[in-house]
Amino acid sequence: MVAETQISPPPAKKPVYGPANPIPLAVCLAVRSFYVIQGLKPSQIAPMVGLSPAQITQLAIRKGWSSERVAKRKERSRKAEQAQDTRAKAEVSQIHEAIAMRTEELAVKTADRCADILGNVAGIDDKALQMSSGALRNFVQVARMSRGMDSRGPQNSPGGNGAQAGATLIFVGALERASKPEAKQADAVIDMPPTLPA
């Protein structure tokens, strides 16, 4: 019995492209898609389209795809940075909202505390009232700043609304009444005619 030997066909030669034999349009479009849009290297593209890496590089230079590739890479990078900035701004906005809500809650509780101090029949504890009113003022200020209500413009506004508002003043307790100054009696004034120059 004689063993049959299989003769393998010779490896297919890569076609030689040049002025007489241009690269087919379908291959060019595939190379452009892989090179420009997907950002693959010529060595990665070559086995998929049947060209050598050098042919792909020459084709990219000849067609001007290198500058397109750089522009696409920059655009992808810009979009990634923009998406990251958007996520960061959303997180910061959530933090500001949480701070504003918590300080508003604390401000209400502190205002209730001030009301309790003022409603004490035995007497007002001036020191406790002063401390509570100071805390109340601070809580209100933090809440307003977190919501962007006291900013000077949109660039300083955490909430991005850039609303301008005046300072908030809160007075708690009784203010001392100022005594009226005594009325002074005006001295008599004698009207004299104006003198004319000589």
Looking at residue 128, its pLDDT comes to 87
Does position 109 have pLDDT exceeding 60, yes or no?
yes
Residues 101 and 142 placed together within one structural domain of the fold: yes
DSSP designation for 154: G
Amino acid type, 77: S
Task: Note the pLDDT tens digit of each residue in 114-140.
Answer: 888 888 877 788 888 889 889 999 999
Look at residue 13 and tell me if it is in a domain: no
Whole-number percent of the chain with pLDDT over 90: 9
pTM beyond 0.75 = no
The domain containing residue 45 runs over which residues? 25-63
Look at residue 116 and tell me if it is in a domain: yes
Residues 6+ apart with CB under 8 A from 111: 136
Q: Specify whether the CB–CB gap between 69 and 41 falls below 8 A.
A: no
Whole-number Å distance between alpha carbons of 144 and 158? 10
Look at residue 187 and tell me if it is in a domain: no
Looking at residue 164, its pLDDT comes to 42
Task: Note the pLDDT tens digit of each residue in 168-184.
Answer: 445 555 545 555 555 55
